[in-house]
Amino acid sequence: MPSYLLRVELEDRPGRLGSLAVALGSVGADILSLDVVERGAGYAVDDLVVDLPPGAMPDMLITAAERLEGVYVDSIRPHTGLLEAHRELELVDHIAAARGTQAKLQVLVDEAPKVLRVGWCTVVRLTDSGPERVAGSHGAPETQAAAAPWLPLERALALDGTAEWLPQVWRDIDTTLAAAPLGDANTAVLLGRPGGPAFRPSEVARLGYLAGIVATILR
């Protein structure tokens, strides 16, 4: 059965999540896992991995969810693999076990997309001749940015996905971006999420914490 990653924003009150589960079940969806992305004053953002029966259209999930008052579907994407919480520790272990700086960076970019739920990951370094890609994951765009005015970088942040420095092909597929310094302000981890959704503050903070731990390992 096809699986989808459904990101929803809903009122954070008793019974709301149960009502959502019933609504999704009414269209044949089977909820495999749920992960809280962010909580705020009176609302929550959750990621749900759901299976749909063969032939069922993913639009059915949006329709069923948004019939409920106070529920908004942020995004829906095909999902492959298991959604597991706290996989940062496993990633950190794999990076620490790799031999040599370049090998450690390659483990970081290869495994971060699964852990942080993004399309691709690169490590970028600012040099005298412009930004240089030090390592890139599978799926990282072949077209690289010729400029990186966001470097040097002092803290993790979401980048403007419509900025002029982005290659046009990145903008054409609505790539949302987030970055965090990796050991020094001129080196950064860059995450790309083609088609969105936008990075939540909690996701940016999570990237910052992970980059800080990896920087310590690299030292």
Q: Which tens digits make up the pLDDT trace of 143-202?
A: 999 999 999 999 999 999 999 999 999 999 999 999 999 999 999 999 999 998 999 888
Q: What is the pLDDT of residues 10-66, one digit of tens each?
A: 998 878 888 999 999 999 999 888 888 888 888 999 988 899 988 889 999 999 999
Q: What is the pLDDT of residues 83-130, one digit of tens each?
A: 454 577 789 989 999 999 999 999 999 999 988 889 999 999 999 999
How many CB atoms are closer than 10 A to CB 145? 20
Structure tokens at 54: 């063969």
pTM, 2 dp: 0.74
Is residue 81's pLDDT more than 70? no
Average the pLDDT over 202-209 and give the result: 90
| CATH tag, 88-218 | 3.30.450.40
Per-residue model confidence (pLDDT) at position 139 = 92
The C-alpha atoms of residue 126 and residue 203 are separated, in whole angstroms, by: 24
Distances (CA, A) of 199 to 75, 76, 177: 12, 14, 7
Per-residue model confidence (pLDDT) at position 83 = 45
Distances (CA, A) of 188 to 5, 51, 59, 94, 180: 27, 36, 37, 19, 5
Per-residue model confidence (pLDDT) at position 204 = 92
Per-residue model confidence (pLDDT) at position 15 = 82
The C-alpha atoms of residue 209 and residue 92 are separated, in whole angstroms, by: 11
| CATH tag, 3-78 | 3.30.70.260
Q: Where are the domains of the chain?
A: 3-78, 88-218
Per-residue model confidence (pLDDT) at position 202 = 85
Q: Where are the alpha helices (DSSP H) in the chain?
A: 16-25, 59-66, 88-97, 101-116, 168-172, 201-218
Calculate the average pLDDT of the chain. 91
Note whether 216 and 181 are within 8 A (CB).
no
Q: Give the residue from 216, 201, 143 showing the smallest Cα distance to 175.
A: 143
Note whether 111 and 98 are within 8 A (CB).
no
Note whether 182 and 188 are within 8 A (CB).
yes
